[in-house]
Amino acid sequence: MDRRQHRKTSKWDWRQLLSKGITKKLIVAGIITALCGLLIVNIFIWTSDVSKLNKPAPQPTIIYDQNGEIASKISNSKIEGVGIKQIPDEVVQAVIATEDQRFYKHSGINYFAIMKAFFKNMLSGDIVAGGSTVTQQLAKNAFLTHERTYTRKVKELIITKKIERTYSKDEIMERYLNQIYFGEGAWGIQRAAKTYFGKEASELTLSESAMLAGLIKAPSILSPFKNMEKSVERRDLVLSLMEKEGYITQADVEKAKEQSVVLNEEKVEDEYDGNYPYYVDHIIQEAMTKYKLSKNEILSGGLHIFTELNPTIQKGTEEVYQNDNYFPASQNDQLLQSGAIFIDPKSGGIQGLVGGRGQHTFLGFNRATQLVRQPGSTMKPLAVYTPALEKGYEVFDLLQDRPLDIGGYQPKNFDKQYRGEVTMYDAVVNSYNVPPVWLLNQIGLQQGTNAVEEFGIPLQEKDHALGIALGGMHEGTSPLAMAQAYTTFANNGTMVEAHSIRKIEDSDGKVMAKWKSKSTEVIKPEVAQKITYMLRGVVKEGTGKKAFMEGLDIAGKTGSTQLPFANEAGTKDHWFVGYTPDIVGAVWLGYDQTDENHYLAPSSSGTTPVIFKEILSKAKSELSDEKFAVSTIEKKYKNEIKKIKEKEEKARKEKEKENKEKNKEKNKGKGKEKNKEKKDKGKERDGEEEDEDEEDEDE
């Protein structure tokens, strides 16, 4: 071996030795780091306090109105706890098969599920999935918020480990089943059994156990009271999962599927139903969605929630909804439903709302905020008339009102009549359908859909059609969204985001969350005033006349929607969205399930405007006599109004003259007919006499 080769080999050996040394050091460092990390995690686990699960001592949350006075108290402290021995094995098995198949095998965390969720989150770029076990769900519900962050997930894992080291599997399952929410105001398995089936938890059948376990995923959507078909479908899936896990046989599955679902007809008394129940429901929902608080925090955390609730307006709304005289008669088998919401246009504060008629269910369906229905003609000012005014059209410009066919779309007016041309004002006031469709086609569909979205109403792809001019949407929108949109008109073009919560404090008075006002100038003040000018006409002389009140300046728009089946003598939904300078309200009326036997009268003019008016009359002490800022608009249109009135008067006189001439001709015709009848009768009598004479002669 020559010297150069030896030198090269020596150099390579040195590098290999160095590399091996670094690798060993890295391995050792990695092991030490892992051990330190494990030690730190175990210290966190060891120091975590989960004793709350031993003796839960929830404090009621206090809700305050806009004046700082106590309005309501809420708590979940009246959960009917049951021991694991009183819970049927089928319930536990159904929950495990559905929520956590490895419950008895893992130590609180399903690492496979977490890795699966981790990769899904990495692909999406956000936290969209979790790998929660029953123990993790218990940790989250009892100790944490529902915020989707990695920090909260780490806390959840630490608390989960502590729970697993502190309690047995049966104790964990018992606490989980006593705290989880099953919908319809039912917290815990015992109350769920009573609410849905009118029996003790210990008496639940396999079919009933599977149905309740299936509710945990989405109790509001899967409730058999609201959607039996989806609930049964979910139950069947749970039964299949139980068979797959080996808890039951195929024969058990078939037998359970054959068992008819008999729901409890008598509602279990809602122990949390205090003052202003629907408003409280919305506060809870807002606290969870906007401020990421858990139900458990809200219901038992001793919080102080300061709200926008106006007790006078809220009480007035509730009084109207408790009086059947303000509503059309319902069918015997289904109560005609309704929802109403009222917002301060300047602050966006929700001052009052009621989400339904009849028995209230804690955290049940709220038709004022959660309902999604087509808004009918209440959409016209948003989708058509506002963007048209922005494009340069004027209130008294003439619009086409003739038979229309645009790509097969043929809108019709309510009365099936056409007037040739009408002013925009008349089209709005009388809620004609053809002119707004024609106008939207003129300004461009995109202008209309853009305007709707600027008003805070999201649209689906299928909504981008000329039918949006008349409120035709694939799904629809809520009274809350419509009221918020109309605050733009009442607030001179600026829309403030609607909200019910001003501030949340913990039990010690420390501020946890505070409302930050979000406002947007949607349209120019002059455009808002022009819309208000026309909508005030709706209430003064148009389809919304029954909302008119002496002493209050009111503007608004009626709306109704077509039935999903052929019937021209009825409608599916009735709407009225109205406002004064101080308050904006939206009222919806309809059946939860519309069919051939459950629908409304053809016109909304005599229903929703009346409800709106009655609520305002009970809240009048809270409303000022302020007038809309439309005086400059009125001056601008003074000459146009004069010309139109003169034209209308001339047309009226011509019509009267025409009718008089028609009546004269009619009377002349009647006179001739009478003379003819007399002559004919005379001839008949002469003929009869001749016949008699002939008969006599024959005889």
Q: For the chain, what are the domain ranges? A: 3-47, 79-258, 374-469, 637-677
CA distance linking residue 196 with residue 186, whole number of Å: 9
Q: Average pLDDT, stretch 648-677? A: 70
Backbone angles phi, psi at 221, to 5 degrees: -80, -35
Q: How confident is the model at residue 690 (pLDDT cuts 50, 70, 90)?
A: very low
What is the per-residue pLDDT for 436? 98
| Dist. CA 424–CA 647, nearest whole Å | 16
The confidence band for 697, taking pLDDT boundaries of 50, 70 and 90, is: very low
What is the pLDDT, as a whole number, of residue 199? Answer: 93
pLDDT recorded at residue 44 = 44
Instruction: Evaluate if residue 534 carries a pLDDT over 80.
Output: yes
Residue 94 scores a pLDDT above 90: yes
Strands 420-423 vs 70-74: parallel, antiparallel or unpaired: unpaired
pLDDT tens string 470-503? 999 999 999 999 999 999 999 999 999 999 999 9
For residues 608 and 567, the model is more confident at: 608
Question: Span 223-239, mean pLDDT?
Answer: 95
Q: Which helix (H) or strand (E) holds 90?
A: helix 89-99
Of the residues 72, 132, 300, 377, only one is catalytic, namely 377
What crossing angle do the helices spanning 189-197 and 206-215 adopt, rounded to 10°? 110
According to DSSP, the residues that pair with 306 across neighbouring strands are 64, 503
Angle between helices 134-143 and 89-99 (to 10 degrees): 90
The C-alpha angle 520, 526, 529, rounded to 5 degrees, equals 90
Task: Judge whether 461 counts as a catalytic residue.
Answer: no
Total Cβ atoms within 10 A of residue 215: 26
Give the residue from 94, 89, 90, 104 showing the smallest Cα distance to 135.
104
Stronger pLDDT, 489 or 158, i.e. the higher one: 489
Lookup result for tokens 């319902």: 330
Give the separation between CA 130 and CA 433, rounded to whole angstroms. 49
- Mean pLDDT throughout 289-318? 94
SS3 content of the chain, % helix, strand, coil (to 5): 50, 10, 35
Residue positions counted in the chain: 699
The one-character DSSP state at 672 is H
* 165-196 per-position pLDDT tens digit: 889 999 999 999 988 999 888 889 998 999 99
Highest mean pLDDT among 237-251, 297-311, 589-603: 237-251
The pLDDT of residue 689 is above 70:
no
- The more confidently predicted of residues 697 and 422 is 422
- Rounded distance between C-alpha atoms, residue 116 and residue 267, angstroms: 41
Mean pLDDT of the chain, nearest integer: 86
Higher per-residue confidence, 637 vs 326: 326
pTM for the predicted model, two decimal places? 0.65
341/353 Cα distance (integer angstroms): 4
Distance in angstroms (rounded) separating the CA atoms of residues 473 and 374: 6
Q: Is the dihedral of CA 623, 629, 633, 635 positive or negative?
A: positive
Q: Which of 48, 75, 99, 347 is catalytic?
A: 99
Q: What's the pLDDT score for residue 687?
A: 43
Tokens of residue 344, six digits: 């301060």
Per-residue pLDDT at 466 exceeds 90: yes
Beta carbons within 10 angstroms of residue 612's beta carbon? 28
Alpha helices (runs of H) in 542-636, residue ranges in sequence order: 608-618, 631-636
| Beta-bridge mates of residue 560 | 574
Residue 651 CA to residue 649 CA, distance in Å, equals 5
Q: Is the pLDDT of residue 53 over 70?
A: no
- Reported as a pLDDT band with limits 50, 70 and 90, residue 117 is low
- In the residue annotation, 624 being an active-site residue is answered as no
Q: For 444, phi and psi rounded to 5 degrees?
A: 105, 130
Whether the predicted pLDDT of 22 surpasses 80: no
Residue with structure tokens 């049951």? 82
User: For 571-622, what is each residue's pLDDT tens digit?
Assistant: 999 999 999 999 999 999 999 999 999 989 998 989 999 999 999 999 999 9
The confidence band for 300, taking pLDDT boundaries of 50, 70 and 90, is confident
Whole-number pLDDT of residue 631: 84
Of residues 295 and 681, the one with the higher pLDDT is 295
Q: How far is CA 544 from CA 381, 431, 438, 528, 606, in A?
A: 14, 10, 23, 19, 8
Q: Which residue has the higher pLDDT, 129 or 574?
A: 574
Looking at CATH, the fold of the domain delimited by 374-469 is given as Beta-lactamase (3.40.710)
What is the rounded average pLDDT of the residues 545-566?
Answer: 94
Give the Cα separation of 175 and 54 in Å (integer): 9
Q: Which of 45-54, 128-137, 583-592, 659-668 has the highest mean pLDDT?
A: 583-592
Helices (H), 225-276: 228-244, 250-258
Domain 79-258 has what CATH class?
A: mainly alpha
Helix, strand, or coil (residue 572): coil
pLDDT recorded at residue 639: 76
Predicted local distance difference test score (pLDDT) of residue 426: 95
Q: What is the pLDDT of residue 129?
A: 43
Tell me the per-residue pLDDT of 407-458, one tens digit each, with 9 for 90 and over: 999 999 999 999 999 999 999 999 999 999 999 999 999 999 999 999 999 9
The residue with tokens 């210290």 is: 43
Give whole-number Cα distances, 230 to 94, 212, 223, 508, in Å.
17, 13, 8, 43
- pLDDT given at position 684: 45
